[in-house]
Structure 1
Amino acid sequence: MKLYRLLTGQDDAAFCHRVTDALNKGWSLSGSPSLTFNAQTGQVIAAQAIVKEVEGKDYHPDLKLSEQ
């Protein structure tokens, strides 16, 4: 089964650490990152899709993707 997550957050070191942590847990980047600007807060927001293949599991909406 293939799992999908979209990581989002302020474009800062904490966001990069979240992506790095996911990569070290077996997730892979899927496509290019996206950036947008929140004019109300003055922050740049980043998004990165990640995917992971897992065996022996069936998809269910209650599956905690961040724990895979």
Structure 2
Amino acid sequence: MRLYRFLTAVDDATFCHKVTAALNKGWHLYGSPTYAYDEDGKTMRCGQAVVKDIEGQDYGPDTRLSDW
């Protein structure tokens, strides 16, 4: 199965740590990062899509992406 996640966080070290943790769990960057202003929070936010292939597993709506 191929898994997809979109990681987001405030534009600070939190975002970098979130993406780094995913990369160290075998996820791969997918596309370019995004950057946008959050009007409600009055802060900049980052986003990055990541994907991961898992052999021998079937995807279902109850699959917990964070477990991988």
Q: TM-score, with normalisation over the residues of structure 2?
A: 0.94
Post-superposition, which runs of at least 4 consecutive aligned residues in structure 1 deviate over 2 A?
none
The gaps in structure 2 that reach 5 residues or longer are none
Alignment-derived partner of residue 31 in structure 2: 31
In structure 2, C-alpha distance between the alignment counterparts of 1:40 and 1:11, rounded to whole Å: 15
In structure 1, C-alpha distance between the alignment counterparts of 2:40 and 2:58, rounded to whole Å: 41
Alignment-derived partner of residue 48 in structure 2: 48
Deviation at residue 40 of structure 1 after TM alignment: 3.0
Alignment-derived partner of residue 7 in structure 2: 7
In structure 2, C-alpha distance between the alignment counterparts of 1:54 and 1:19, rounded to whole Å: 19
Q: TM-score, with normalisation over the residues of structure 1?
A: 0.94
Over the residues paired in the alignment, what is the CA RMSD in angstroms? Answer: 0.8
The gaps in structure 1 that reach 5 residues or longer are none
Deviation at residue 38 of structure 1 after TM alignment: 1.4
> Percent of aligned pairs with the same residue?
53
